[in-house]
Amino acid sequence: MHSVRPSAQAGFTLIELIVVIVILGILAATALPRFASLGGDARIASLQAAQGALNTTAAMVHGQSLLNPQATTITNDSIQINLASSYPAADVNTANAAGLTSNDYEITANPTGSATSATAAHVPAIPANGFVVVPNSIKGTATAETCFLSYQQAANANTPPVVTLTKSTCQ
């Protein structure tokens, strides 16, 4: 007599495989945004590049103004840059000379001697004799209040302008 042995199952069924793939897909879609904030990282990198461009522009303009101490403006790439203490003044032309344009950033200047608090919803405070740079991708959102670049013109010829990156909630 032949005995009948139960056959052992070897591997997954097709249904089990599909269920596992769906569960892994759901877990990946849920966990990925926590580990990869690509938009925030891109905004931070963009603002860091803008910060470097503003610092470089300030150094180049300062060097040109030292060659011509009586100058009140310097022309750089056909952009007229106003001077304050031999450094670029806090106006939109300084940002434009650094390659920052309205296509990518909202640039709000405050050329007066006193700082301003946020004048509208979701607009960062502007330093005295300065301007702020906000990426257009977050302009008008709550993130814009804590993800921006500020430029404060030089107080004297011995102190360069202060370019500060605020990135606490760029994510």
Count of domains observed in the chain: 1
Alpha helices in 11-151 (DSSP H): 14-35, 38-67, 92-97
Q: pLDDT tens across 89-144, in order?
A: 999 999 999 999 999 999 988 877 666 665 567 788 888 889 999 999 998 888 88
Is residue 19 in some structural domain?
no
50 inside domain: yes
Tokens at 47, concatenated: 């603002």
- Alpha-carbon gap, residue 45 to 28, rounded angstroms: 25
- Residue 2 maps to a domain: no
Asked whether residue 5 is domain-assigned, the answer is no
Predicted TM-score (pTM) of the model is 0.76
Range of the domain at 121: 37-167
Surface-to-core class of residue 44, CB atoms within 10 Å of its CB (0-12 exposed, 13-18 middle, 19+ buried)? middle
